Amino acid sequence: MDHKAFLEKLHSSPHPVVVDFWAPWCLPCRAIEPALKRLEAEYSGQVAVWRLNADEQGELLSALKIFGIPTLIAFRGGREVLRQNGAQGSASLLRLFEAAQQGAAPVAAGLPRSERVVRAAVGVILVILAWIDGPNLILGALGGLIAFSAVYDRCPLWRTLAPRLRTLLRRRTMPGSR
């Protein structure tokens, strides 16, 4: 499908659309497939899901500036509202469907840049002090945690693991759970 045909199909769609650019050889593409299918069923009749094989859509990938797969793009009214690259957790995929349905990307609740810089600087200074002072593991670990707190929300591994950790912690803190 060329770019023009894609745009025509997109504009004629009666529902918002989530487009999944994937390939059969792509392991991250296969990893997100079950969650994507669950959301497709949940949003049936509200959000359409199109799966386009990236190996067969080179021209379209180039036109849409897609440089890696999996790439998922939410469209509403023919306009891109949110794009996600790489394997995402269920919470991120849910945000994609909600953005398609609402027509706007969710507001990012990240840290302000100044706070990121301060956290990263303090963390690096503590790690350096731990190294200069001799192998002070506690100070080094504290510095590493503080530095990580500056970027954790942008870490794809953390975004994948965080919902699972929250679920695990909720189960352990609920009364009557083992």
Q: Does some domain include residue 14?
A: yes
Comparing C-alpha atoms, which of 63, 104, 10, 151 is closest to residue 96? 104
Considering the domain architecture, whether residues 130 and 70 belong to the same structural domain is answered as no
Average pLDDT rounded to a whole number, residues 83-112: 81
Measured in whole angstroms, how far is the alpha carbon of residue 72 from the centre of its chain? 9
**102, 131, 151 — which closes off a domain?**
102
Considering the domain architecture, whether residues 89 and 118 belong to the same structural domain is answered as no
Considering the domain architecture, whether residues 64 and 127 belong to the same structural domain is answered as no
Q: Does some domain include residue 178?
A: no
Cis upstream peptide for 135 (omega within 30°)? no
Q: Name the active-site residue from 29, 48, 60, 69.
A: 29
Is the four-CA dihedral 31, 35, 37, 39 of positive or negative sign?
negative
> What is the pLDDT at residue 157?
77
Considering the domain architecture, whether residues 51 and 20 belong to the same structural domain is answered as yes
pLDDT confidence tier of residue 161, bands split at 50, 70 and 90: confident
Average pLDDT rounded to a whole number, residues 111-138: 88
Dist CA 113 CA 145 (whole Å): 18
The identity of residue 90, as a single letter, is S
In the 8-state DSSP scheme, what is residue 42?
Answer: H
139: pLDDT strictly greater than 80: yes
Q: Does some domain include residue 167?
A: yes
Active site includes 155? no
Range of the domain at 16: 3-102
Integer CA distances (angstroms), 58 to 6, 10, 36, 50, 64, in order:
13, 18, 23, 16, 10
> What is the pLDDT at residue 108?
55
Considering the domain architecture, whether residues 94 and 125 belong to the same structural domain is answered as no
Length of the chain: 178
pLDDT confidence tier of residue 141, bands split at 50, 70 and 90: very high
Considering the domain architecture, whether residues 21 and 83 belong to the same structural domain is answered as yes
Q: Name the active-site residue from 26, 81, 87, 93.
A: 26
CATH number of the domain that 91 lies in?
3.40.30.10
Q: Does some domain include residue 23?
A: yes
Domain count, the chain: 2
Q: Does some domain include residue 108?
A: no
Q: Does some domain include residue 107?
A: no
Question: SS3 string of 141-156?
Answer: HHHHHHHHCCCHHHCH
Please give the model's pTM, rounded to 2 decimal places: 0.60
Active site includes 26? yes
Q: Which residues of 55-67 are buried (b: 16+ CB within 10 A; e: fewer)?
A: eebeebbeebebe
Q: Does some domain include residue 50?
A: yes
**102, 135, 164 — which closes off a domain?**
102
